[in-house]
Structure 1
Amino acid sequence: MKILIAYDGSSSSDLIFRDLQRAGMPEEVEAQIVSVAAEWFPAPGSFAMVEVQYFNPKSVWQEAHKWAEEATQRLRKIFPKWNISEKVVYGSAARVLIEEADVFHPDLLVLGARGHSGIGKLLLGSVSQKVLRSAHCSVRVSRDHEERPDKTDNNIRIVVGVDGSDGASEAVKAVLARNWPSGTEVRTVTADLPEAEHMPAPIAEWIHEERARVNSQVESSLAEFDAKGLKTSSVLKHAEAKDLLCEEAETWKADVVFVGAKQMTKMDRFLLGSVSASVSERAHCSVEVVRPKNVAK
Structure 2
Amino acid sequence: MAHPVVVGVDGSPAALDAVEIAAREAALRGVGLRLVHAFGWPSRHGPPGGPPWHPAAPGVRELLDGTLGEAERRARAAAPRLELAREVTVGEPVTVLEIESRTAALVVVGGRGPSAFGSRLLGSTAVHLVAHAHCPVLVVRGRPDPAGPVLLAVDGSPAARGAVAFAFTEAALRGAELLALHAYTSRTEHPYAAPADPPFVTYDGNRPREEAEHVLAEALAGHRERHPDVAVRHRAVRGRVRATLVEASSEAQLIVVGARGHGGFTGLLLGSVSQAVLHHAHCPVTVVRHDGP
Q: Which runs of 4+ in 1 moved over 6 A?
A: none
Equivalent position of 1:113 in the other structure: 111
Q: Is the 8 A contact 2:254 2:283 kept in 1?
A: yes
Classify 1:134/1:181 alpha carbon distance in 2 versus 1 (closer, same or farther; 3 Å).
Answer: closer
- Three-state SS of the structure 2 residue aligned to 1:145 is coil
Kindly provide the CA deviation profile for residues 72-112 of structure 1, in whole angstroms up to 9, marking residues without a partner as x.
3432343344332110112222222223323xx21211000
Kindly provide the CA deviation profile for residues 174-232 of structure 1, in whole angstroms up to 9, marking residues without a partner as x.
122234455x2332221215339xxxxxx99x957964651323563895598323363
**Superposition pairs of residues 178-193 of structure 1, within 5 angstroms:** 178=170, 179-182=172-175, 184-193=176-185
Q: 2:258 aligns with which of 260, 265, 282?
A: 260
Classify 1:163/1:267 alpha carbon distance in 2 versus 1 (closer, same or farther; 3 Å).
Answer: closer
Classify 1:190/1:40 alpha carbon distance in 2 versus 1 (closer, same or farther; 3 Å).
Answer: farther
TM-score normalized by the length of structure 1? 0.72
Equivalent position of 2:157 in the other structure: 165
Structure 2 CA distance for aligned equivalents of residues 4 and 118 of structure 1: 16
Q: Is 1:71 equivalent to 2:63 in the alignment?
A: no
Equivalent position of 2:267 in the other structure: 270
Kindly provide the CA deviation profile for residues 50-92 of structure 1, in whole angstroms up to 9, marking residues without a partner as x.
xx9x643544554234322332343234334433211011222
Equivalent position of 1:33 in the other structure: 35
Q: Is the 8 A contact 2:94 2:117 kept in 1?
A: no
Equivalent position of 2:191 in the other structure: none
Structure 1 CA distance for aligned equivalents of residues 219 and 277 of structure 2: 20
Equivalenced residue count is: 264
Structure 1 CA distance for aligned equivalents of residues 26 and 118 of structure 2: 29
| Letter paired with 2:85 | S
Q: Is 1:237 equivalent to 2:231 in the alignment?
A: no
Classify 1:141/1:118 alpha carbon distance in 2 versus 1 (closer, same or farther; 3 Å).
Answer: closer
| Letter paired with 2:162 | E
Structure 1 CA distance for aligned equivalents of residues 232 and 169 of structure 2: 16
Classify 1:217/1:270 alpha carbon distance in 2 versus 1 (closer, same or farther; 3 Å).
Answer: same
| Letter paired with 2:177 | E
Unaligned runs of 5+ in 1: 42-51, 197-202
Unaligned runs of 5+ in 2: 189-202
Q: Is the 8 A contact 1:61 1:90 kept in 2?
A: no
Q: Is 1:125 equivalent to 2:123 in the alignment?
A: yes
Percent identity for Structure 1 against Structure 2: 25
Structure 1 CA distance for aligned equivalents of residues 133 and 116 of structure 2: 25
Q: CA deviation at 1:11?
A: 0.6
